[in-house]
Amino acid sequence: MGIWFTEKQTANFGITAKIKQTLATVKTDFQELEMIQTEEWGNMLVLDDMVMTTEKDEFVYHEMVAHVPLFTHPNPKKVLVVGGGDGGVIREVLKHKSVEKATLVEVDGKVLEYSKKYLPTIAGALDDDRVEVKVDDGFMYIANSKREFDVILVDSTEPVGPAVSLFTQGFYTGIHKALKDDGIFVAQTDNPWFKADLIRQVYNDVGEIFSVTTLYTANIPTYPSGLWTFTMGSKIHHPLKVKKERFTDIETNYYTSELHYACFALPKFVKDLTE
């Protein structure tokens, strides 16, 4: 039968992948980290028994975190990524020629180390000259920043362990202060099938702080339910008012200029979470 890895996404539901081999297992200062080579998804990063990314479908998440806000902003030069130690969001950010500096703040240095070793197609851009990598607490880094960034991207795990503080209104308030006057931020906000209350709470919290609050979705097969949400908070710019000439040609596998608008069309049960 072989060896299988199962992520229990709820007490009664999970997804399973057949394993070729376990590449690494380490207990970091923050979490249990595993690198698994799977038959279907290639190499897979697992933190505390939750799938973080895989070689096969990683492009969906990373492209949608990065390109929706970066094309919404008219001229993003300075970008901050909180979390995202696998490097995928940084890779996508650097596709925008206007970006002069991209700072990555990852609390767990082991995620950086093992991603570079086992996920080189994802983490390869971390050594780019435009990238500054800091092993630090994202919450505190945000708290100590003021009007510094054009775009902030929160690439966190689910709200457990070290990521709990990244789903609080205090964190979003700190992000608002850390952004320039026309700044934008996006955070991954889990799935509407199992985490509806979380999405509703985050959307309401962000809406109390930012002038423009929107929710969009993407299909990510290895994430719980496959339907994933992202919450955007913007001080000025609305993602649906981006003019078509704003889009430039970049290499993507999921994101397109047409999808930029379409991803904000929500199924009714998801739209209900924003009302």
Among 53, 68, 87, give the residue marking a domain's end: 53
Q: Which two tokens stand for residue 141?
A: 């880094």
Q: Which residues are annotated as a binding site for S-methyl-5'-thioadenosine?
A: 31, 106, 137-138, 162
196 shares its domain with 95: yes
What backbone torsions phi and psi does residue 45 show, to the nearest 5 degrees? Answer: -95, 125
88 shares its domain with 32: no
Q: What is the DSSP letter of 36?
A: E
17 shares its domain with 110: no
40 shares its domain with 162: no
105 shares its domain with 219: yes
What backbone torsions phi and psi does residue 266 show, to the nearest 5 degrees? Answer: -100, 145
The pLDDT, as a whole number, for residue 2 is 77
The pLDDT, as a whole number, for residue 158 is 63
Q: Which residues are annotated as a binding site?
A: 31, 62, 86, 106, 137-138, 155-158, 162
Residue span of the structural domain in which 33 resides: 3-53
Q: Which residues are annotated as a binding site for spermidine?
A: 62, 86, 155-158
The pLDDT, as a whole number, for residue 271 is 98
CATH number, domain of 29, equals 2.30.140.10
217 shares its domain with 119: yes
99 shares its domain with 205: yes
34 shares its domain with 69: no
74 shares its domain with 201: yes
Among 19, 36, 53, give the residue marking a domain's end: 53
Q: Which helix (H) or strand (E) holds 117?
A: helix 109-118
97 shares its domain with 45: no
In order of 92, 118, 216, the CA distances from 201 in angstroms are: 28, 36, 15
* Per-run averaged pLDDT (10 residues), the chain, 275 residues: 89 95 97 97 96 98 98 98 97 98 97 98 97 95 95 81 68 96 97 96 95 98 97 98 96 98 98 96
The pLDDT, as a whole number, for residue 163 is 55
The pLDDT, as a whole number, for residue 33 is 98
Domains identified in the chain, total number: 2
The set of catalytic residues is 155
